[in-house]
Structure 1
Amino acid sequence: MFNSTLKKPLQLSTSTHQLAKYYTQTKTRTLARSQGRVVILGSGWAGFKLMKDLDKKNYDVSVVSPRNYFVFTPLLASTSVGTLEFRCITEPVRTYSKDINFYQATCDKIDLENQVIHCVSNIDNASGRKSFLLDYDKLVIGVGSYSNTFGIPGVEEHACFLKDVNDARKIRKRLVECFENASQPGTTEKEKQDLLHFVIVGGGPTGVEFSAELHDFITDDLSRLYPDLIDKTRMTLYDVAPTILSSFDSKLSDYAHKKFNRKGIQIKTRKKILPYGLLVWSTGLMQNPLVESLSTVAKDASGQRILTDGQLRVLDKDTKLPYPNIYALGDCATIEGNDLPATAQVASQKANYLRKVFNGTAKKGYEVPATEFEYKDRGMMAYIGSYEALVDMSSVHEQATKSGHLSWLLWRSAYFTMSMSMRNKLLIPIHWFLTWALGRDISRF
């Protein structure tokens, strides 16, 4: 237990002592909270939800993240074409600042022996980015993952990804630029066709939903504003799998394939060299640099994700025993012997499980034995355009698979309900209505 008047001293290794003169040391272990400090790395589905629901009366909660907001990723594709505005899908972390310590920074090293993390601020200013140390009693790693380019030359430099609001903003800007450039005097027919060729790589839910949103944007709005260019637009969806949405029921996957063919969205599975105006890359995940730097912790067979036990505790690489106070969840982690998909649903359920463990410990005043995490698959949904969607809940009931307009209503109502704050629960339907009534905003900014 913690002493009621003294702070626990920070024990630094020799290497950490040498670095200390270059770092601002942030020691905020507090005895005002009976369970000490919990440091959460990341503000995604795992980190944000855990931070939001954790018992602040008994834990001193600190969050370290390079961005000061949470992104509701299922609706990210909608913002990239103006169906929704960006603020509809973001939640400011500092909304909860009276109960937590927030640091807009990246963690580039974890000293497991001394329970210290090394951070670098993610704020550009005249004096440069500052570095500091932060100690912890419990550490939760939820730093997510990066888009995997598979080492293909040019992808990093020229493709647009779709994992953050800034990515959606970049896509939206580039879309308008393509049409504006194609409408300029002196632009040849070949240049117009190249500029208006939109390529999406990845036939999973993200790639399919973006393709659907883009098709709606072109047919509903850009066709009115650029009528002479619409017959020159093309969309191509590439994937290495023989069909799109391969994780869905085969009937739903076939239904989406037929719908895309009717809309003129070409689906390709072979490599081909083609000019394009916009390339959106939405396939594969690769490890966060912090995960790569953790050489003493166990990783999965691919070496991309941290390996945990059933209680989400990080495993030691050599002994395979869990670190008692270090946890990992979200896209950067997987459970040994229970490899789950890197989805928002899995991350959210893991955060909910860990919240119950931590809060249960605080209530009882000692470490409670926890049952292992159990994932409950609540199904999958995907928007396929023209007010139609797919709903696959075969994990709940083998015949619970639907497609069409009613599925679209379920898709919208589910994401509306899952939105984190009352503010966004109001903003989202308002912007949906404005888009339906007045069309999408195509301003380039």
Structure 2
Amino acid sequence: MEVPVALHPKGNGLSLRSLQVQRLGPGPTDLAPRSQDASLAGLAGLAAASFARAKAAKAKHRRRSLAEDVATAIEEVTNTAEDALLHLSRLPAWLPGEKTVPEDAGGTRKRRVVVLGTGWAAHAIAKIVDISKVEVCVVSPRNYFIFTPMLAAASVGTVEYRSILEHIRSANPTIGYLQGTCKSVDFEKKELVISPYPPGVESDFNLPYDVLVVAVGLRPSSLGVPGVDANCLFLKNIEDARRIRKQVTQNFEAADLPVKTDEERRRLLTFLVVGGGPTGCEFCGELSDFVKNDLRRFYPRLAPLVRIILLHRGKQVLPSFSGNLQTAARETLENQGIEVMTSASVSQVDAEQVHIQKEDGKMALPCGLTVWAAGQIGQDLVREMHQAIPEQQELAQSEAKGSDRQLFVDKWLRACGTDGSVLALGDCARMEHEEPLPETAQVAAQQGAFVARLLNRQYDLTQPVPVLESSEKFDLAHITKRPEASPFRFLDLGRLAYLGQSQAVAELGLGSTPVSETKGLAAFVLWRSVYIVKQVSFRNRVLVLFDWIKSRLFGRDLTRF
């Protein structure tokens, strides 16, 4: 599963040290990813360090006993029951004509919680938070949540884009939402500078907060490889999926023109996917389905010229899976005609070819489309917050290279070096003095739910260990009553990956305890079952199910507009 991001543009003329506002007013905003200088040797070193940290993290999290994992699972069940009671109390808010935002009881001002982002962590907060206890305002340029694990399917038309989206107001009609980006944070005044989105339309404004939740995720990174930003497509949001779908069909139409030579046709129909994680593998599988089940019928003479190549810098694809499933995944992909190229890296991407460094030498591969799923970098806002908080800089210096892309947090997800009023979740957060958790939707969603319950139970986040502000505030609807908040514990339930042609791999577990490994058709059935259940609303479940049936019966839509 992949993890969503809420992109935030760079601020204009900001002092990184103070993060004070230097100018308010409309102005251009730089939405392009920041370029990075890196040599091929540096890229290899970064890859080795990344895999070493992933292995160490997996080993570290498996030290927990089965009893601890079971206790965590039981606590999650009781928390879910508590959330269900809260959702029942919120039903009148969906009725026409009902007041959606309740008034403050007793005239006292509720704490204002500002959430940056609409990804998995932010969406979980919006779903679970109790608006009678706190005032919540979500700020993001994107007013919807994306079920990111199905972006690969949306990029080839297996499901439609809107089937995997939910408007943030639909997630919880009692919260507030502002469409904009956070340009800077004043920690002393507890104020944000918000730039309305799209930029340049309205003037910037200040937004005060009592609690700030940073859930802006990460953004795609070129890893310093020249030409990636200009010549590759990413797969991180709906716009990326649209571009990929349009480019694939355009390449087939261009290759079908009589003026094209066979060499040009082969180049146009060569699709390179860089990155052998779940995103890269699932996209290869979906693209293979698209070609074999749909495009072959309409372009029969072009089908033999199609090449799908998966390039991965490690020795095995799906590095987060077990060794048996890694081998099974590679065999499954290769049996479908997908070329898997491991222990290889990209040194440069040109408009019509990609330069590849392999163990046995270099090669230039002519390509019609290159999809980059090989790295992520921190948001500019997170980097600026690092510069403004001395403790964050100290922690970044003591950790591995690249750790400034995330905010260091304590066991309760409070940003280190703050007074407890700033929390960071999801991909943009990292536990201090611990190996990083996987950058997955599963982690982000659990962290978002954890923070929402801290807010619902009204814990005092300024204390070293968060305690209840008042026992009288803890009403009978809450099942798990504790005077001190338990720290966040990630409960790993496993991972899934679709590989095409109704084949998948699945690794199930309970925390650090492996439960089962499945591959093939059984894993595919499990994959579809889980993805239907995990859809965030009944509407999305119905739409995704109908899309699956429609694409099976009538094929994927090939129109381009």
TM over 0.5: same fold?
A: yes
Q: For 2:226 and 2:20, how far apart are their aligned partners in 1?
A: 38
**Alignment of 1:288 onto 2:288:** no
Residues in 2 aligned to 1:360 and 1:38: alpha-carbon distance in whole angstroms: 14
1:378 equivalent among 465, 490, 493: 493
| CA deviation vs aligned residue, 1:103-141 (integer Å, no higher than 9, x gap) | 1111111111110111111126xx634311100000000
> 1:33 & 1:393 partners in 2: Cα distance?
47
Q: Does 1:324 align with 2:420?
A: yes
Give the C-alpha shift of residue 406 in structure 1.
1.2
* Rounded Cα–Cα distance in structure 1 between residues aligned with 2:205 and 2:25: 10
- Give the superposition deviation at 1:366: 3.8
Runs (5+) with no aligned partner, structure 1? 1-13, 24-29, 317-321
Change over 3 Å in CA distance of 1:50–1:236 after alignment to 2: same
Taking structure 1 as the reference length, the TM-score comes to: 0.90
The Cα of 1:235 is off from its aligned counterpart by 0.8
Q: 1:437 aligns with which of 512, 533, 553?
A: 553
Higher relative contact order (CA 8 A, sep 6+): 2
What's the counterpart of residue 48 of structure 1?
123
Aligned to 1:310: 411
2:177 is equivalent to residue 61 of structure 1: no
Q: 2:112 corresponds to which residue?
A: 37
User: Structure 1 residues 20, 162: CA separation in 2 closer, same or farther (over 3 Å shift)?
Assistant: closer
Letter aligned with residue 380 of structure 1: R
Q: For residues 368-398 of structure 1, what are the alpha-carbon distances to aligned partners after superposition, in whole Å with 9 as ceiling and x for unaligned? A: 6311100111001000111111111255654
Task: Give runs of ≥4 in structure 1 deviating > 4 Å.
Answer: 14-23, 30-34, 362-365, 394-397
Look up the match of 1:134: 207
Which letter maps to 1:179? F
Aligned pair partner of 1:358 in 448, 455, 474: 455
Q: How much does 1:247 deviate?
A: 1.2
Call closer, same or farther: CA 1:18–1:249 in 2, change over 3 Å. Answer: closer
Q: Say whether residues 1:341 and 2:341 are aligned partners.
A: no
Q: Secondary structure at the match of 1:331?
A: helix
Which residue pairs with 1:276 in the alignment?
367
Determine if contact 1:58/1:362 at 8 Å carries over to the other structure: no
Go from structure 1 to structure 2 and tell me whether the alpha carbon gap of 1:72 and 1:117 turns closer, same or farther (over 3 Å shift): same
Structure 1 Cα separation of the partners of residues 140 and 536 of structure 2: 18
SS class of match (2:293): helix
State the shift of 1:323 in Å.
Answer: 2.6
User: For 2:339, what is the secondary structure of its paired residue?
Assistant: strand
Equivalent residue for 1:401?
517
Query: Which residues in structure 2 correspond to 1:137-176 (within 5 Å)?
Result: 137-176=210-249
Which one of 193, 197, 201 corresponds to residue 266 of structure 2? 193
Q: Give the counterpart of 1:105 among 176, 180, 184.
A: 180
- 1:261, CA displacement in angstroms? 1.6
Distance 2:520 2:324 in 1: 13
* Aligned pair partner of 2:506 in 373, 385, 391: 391
Structure 2 matches for 1:228-247, cutoff 5 A? 228-247=301-320
Equivalent-residue separation in structure 2 for 1:161 and 1:21 (angstroms): 32
Q: CA separation in 2, counterparts of 1:34 and 1:97? A: 21
> Where does structure 2 lack aligned partners over 5 or more consecutive residues?
1-17, 28-102, 345-356, 358-362, 461-467, 472-482
The match for 2:291 is: 218
- Partner residue in 2 for 1:10: none
Whole-angstrom CA distance in 2 between matches of 1:351 and 1:265: 37
CA pair 177-18 structure 1, distance change in 2 beyond 3 A: closer
Secondary structure (helix, strand or coil) at the match of 2:422 reads strand
Whether contact under 8 Å (1:162, 1:280) holds in the other structure is: yes
Q: Which residue of 1 aligns with 2:154?
A: 79
- Larger mean CA deviation between 348-357 and 268-277 belongs to 268-277
Cα–Cα, structure 1 residues 328 and 186, in superposed 2: closer, same or farther, change >3 Å? Answer: same
Aligned residues: 419
**In structure 2, the residue corresponding to 1:400 is in which secondary structure?**
strand
Deviation at 1:246, TM superposition (A): 1.4
Q: Relative to structure 1, is the Cα distance of residues 102 and 395 closer, same or farther in structure 2, using a 3 angstrom cutoff?
A: same
Percent identity of paired positions between Structure 1 and Structure 2: 36
Task: Check conservation: 1:200, 1:281, Cα contact below 8 A.
Answer: yes
Structure 2: how far apart are the matches of 1:427 and 1:59?
33
TM-superposed CA distance for 1:155, in Å, is 0.6
| RMSD after superposition | 2.2
8 Å CA contact 2:154–2:241 kept in 1: the answer is yes
Would you say 1:426 and 2:542 are equivalent positions?
yes
Conserved? CA contact 1:33–1:58, under 8 Å: no
Counterpart contact for 1:38–1:139, Cα < 8 Å: yes
Counterpart AA for 2:420: P
Residue 203 of structure 1 corresponds to 276
Aligned partners of 1:372, 1:402: CA distance in 2, in Å?
A: 32
CA distance 1:168–1:21, shift in 2 (3 Å): closer
CA distance in 2, matches of 1:17, 1:227: 60
Contact 1:176 1:442 in 2 (8 A): yes
Q: What is the CA–CA distance in structure 2 between the aligned matches of 1:255 and 1:34, rounded to whole Å?
A: 57
Return the letter of the residue paired with 1:150: L
Tell me which residue corresponds to 2:164.
89
Deviation for aligned residue 1:344: 0.3
Matched residue type, 1:106 = T
- Deviation string for 1:137-157 (max 9, x for gaps)? 000000011111111111111
1:15/1:226 Cα in 2 relative to 1: closer, same or farther (>3 Å)?
Answer: closer
Q: Is the 8 A contact 1:307 1:314 kept in 2?
A: yes
1:35/1:194 CA distance change after superposition, 3 Å: same
Distance 1:273 1:20, change over 3 A: closer
1:249 paired with 2:365, answer: no
